[in-house]
Amino acid sequence: MIGYQFMGKAHSHAYRDIPFFFESKANPILQALCGRNEKAVQEAADKMGWQSIETDWRDLIKREDIDVIDIVTPNHTHAEIAIAAAEAGKHIITEKPLALTVEEAARMKEAVEKHNVIHMICHNYRFVPAVQYAKRLIDDGRLGKIFHFRANYLQDFIIDPSFPLIWRLKKEVSGSGALGDIGAHSIDLARFLVGEIDEVVAMSKTFIKERPLGEMSGGLSAEVSSQEVGEVTVDDAVAFMAKFDSGTFGTFEATRFATGNRNKNTFEINGEKGSVRWDMENMNDLHVYFTDDEKGVQGFRRILCTEEEHPYAGAYWPAGHIIGYEHTFIHLLYEFVEAIADQRQVSPNFHDGYKNQLVLAAIEKSAEQKSWEKVDQLNN
């Protein structure tokens, strides 16, 4: 694994818990952790249970005792590392967004196809039991034809103007702002649940244009490192409308300026026979409404998705004994490890990452040009 902070911790923990909760066909061995600072990476390896360290990812990829490369570094590193890993015949899991640009994403997709390795992108919210159950209801036709997909992904961790210019606020490192950081998750959920997006129109805004220099310090915290200021080169907020291939009407908002909302990742889907509604801040609940419920008692009701019937939930505790954020990574990495054991592809993979990247690019272009943009016209 390359990188060892926020996502490094989430992935390390998940690998360790897979054999604890699941009957997996293969058990991951935490063979080597890579980071640029030897002392810091050794401390992280000791804490998170990795057996050895490297300080250059190129050396890590050369190692013959490693089958899988896990990329949990900032977005501008994903393409170079993933392409080199594919060329070395390693299976790859990378964090989202896949890349900075459609062109990079296309090269990554080509590399994994050419070298025939298993690939995955870490859109972990697909793996919440309640989200999986919503997908099952849609696939079983319980909502009928889908009219609306409505998603918000709201955070507020950069609202203080003295919060520093972290990598997430620099276009050359992150690709985009709230759009690629959190909007990408909503796009992936939309594609997973409702299908492909055909066309978008968007607006975006950068509220705070300059910030003191500084670095991430774990989770979504950061430390100011200098009184010098630098320019914020990404969006702080984005909103867009989308037409899906199916005719579904999509509305989306992604912002890191929604005061009081820490990680409010939500969607509501309205179909001709019913609706589902989900919110990551109460991730075990799925709210459902069905038009064929008896008149007089109709209304949204809450399902606590901790029953055997709810995907993954049965691996843990008795019903009602809830699970949390870290479990989304356990489920995703369990699927990845199973796919490697079976030598088959899994999703979301680099094809999904590429398609999500096309949507991100269309949104950016639309916000810039104030126009509707066709997603597939960016295909190259």
Ligand X SMILES: NC(=O)c1ccc[n+]([C@@H]2O[C@H](COP(=O)([O-])OP(=O)(O)OC[C@H]3O[C@@H](n4cnc5c(N)ncnc54)[C@H](O)[C@@H]3O)[C@@H](O)[C@H]2O)c1
Among 12, 124, 176, 204, binds ligand X (CB under 6 A): 124
Radius of gyration of the chain (CA): 21
How many residues of this chain interact with ligand X, rule: CB under 6 A?
Answer: 20
3-state secondary structure of 25: coil
Task: Report if residue 96 touches ligand X, rule: CB under 6 A.
Answer: yes
Least distance in Å: CB of 328 to ligand X? 8
Nearer to ligand X, 96 or 327 (CB): 96
Q: Which of 84, 92, 93, 41 is nearest to 62 (CA)?
A: 84
Map the footprint of ligand X across residues 281-340, applying CB under 6 A. Answer: none
Contacts of 261 (CB under 8 A, 6+ apart): 154, 155, 156
Task: Report if residue 214 touches ligand X, rule: CB under 6 A.
Answer: no
Apex CA 236: angle with CA 267 and CA 99, to 5°?
80
| Residue 188 · residue 122 · CB < 8 Å | no
Task: Report if residue 75 touches ligand X, rule: CB under 6 A.
Answer: yes
Task: Report if residue 356 touches ligand X, rule: CB under 6 A.
Answer: no
CA distance 188 to 121: 10
Nearer to ligand X, 7 or 313 (CB): 7
CA distance 77 to 260: 32
Nearer to ligand X, 51 or 377 (CB): 51
Task: Report if residue 7 touches ligand X, rule: CB under 6 A.
Answer: yes
CA distance 190 to 135: 10
Task: Report if residue 207 touches ligand X, rule: CB under 6 A.
Answer: no
Task: Report if residue 95 touches ligand X, rule: CB under 6 A.
Answer: yes
CA distance 287 to 180: 27
Nearer to ligand X, 55 or 345 (CB): 55
Map the footprint of ligand X across residues 55-74, applying CB under 6 A. Answer: 72-74
**Alpha-carbon dihedral sign for residues 339, 8, 358, 181:** positive
Task: Report if residue 238 touches ligand X, rule: CB under 6 A.
Answer: no
Nearer to ligand X, 199 or 256 (CB): 256
Among 15, 18, 33, 35, binds ligand X (CB under 6 A): 35
Among 33, 60, 68, 77, binds ligand X (CB under 6 A): 77
Structure tokens at 273: 């026979």
Contacts of 295 (CB under 8 A, 6+ apart): none
Q: Which residues bind ligand X (CB under 6 A)?
A: 2-8, 35-36, 72-75, 77, 95-96, 122, 124, 181, 216
